[in-house]
Amino acid sequence: MSVLAYLLAVWVFLIGVYGLVTSRNLIHAVVCLSVCQSSTYVLLLAIGYQWGATAPVFSGIASDAAVVDPVVQAMVLTDVVVNAAVTALLLAIAIQVHKRHHTIDPDRLRSLHG
């Protein structure tokens, strides 16, 4: 049963890739990529989880309380920042694509011209 948390990450990743493959809109594709990246949050947090443990912030809890892994949480923080940066960059590229090609349907972006 407990392996479901990991399988959830696989499912979120694949549903994101499915969106990318079938996308008809670049902005939709950027969001799908975001969904793919969200699967890594689920995976990291699942790896760090511990039954019955609380958040790794020692204010108002006993100093020897069981806490979940703070290392993976810090990695998720990095992950979120990377995701925000990548999403913003790709949206900027989508704007430029629309300016030059007057479409954001990836299937209609066939010719190379700059």
Angstrom distance (rounded) from CA 16 to CA 71:
26
User: Hey, CA dihedral for 91, 92, 95, 99, is it positive or negative?
Assistant: negative
Q: Is 69 in the site for another protein (CB under 8 A)?
A: yes
DSSP letter at 112 equals -
Cβ-based nearer residue to another protein, 51 or 112 = 51
Q: How far is the CB of 10 from another protein (least distance, A)?
A: 5
3-62: contacts with another protein (CB under 8 A): 3-7, 10, 14, 17-18, 21-22, 46-51, 53, 55-59
**Minimum CB distance to another protein smaller for 53 or for 109:** 53
Instruction: In whole angstroms, give the CA distance from residue 105 to residue 24.
Output: 5
Q: How far is CA 113 from CA 9, 109, 110, in A?
A: 38, 10, 10
Q: Rounded to whole angstroms, how far apart are CA atoms 38 and 104? A: 24
Question: Quick one: which of 66, 103, 108, 109 contacts another protein (CB under 8 A)?
Answer: 66
Contact set with another protein (CB under 8 A): 2-7, 10, 14, 17-18, 21-22, 46-51, 53, 55-59, 63, 66-71, 73-74, 77-78, 80-82, 84-86, 88-89, 91-93, 95-96, 99, 107
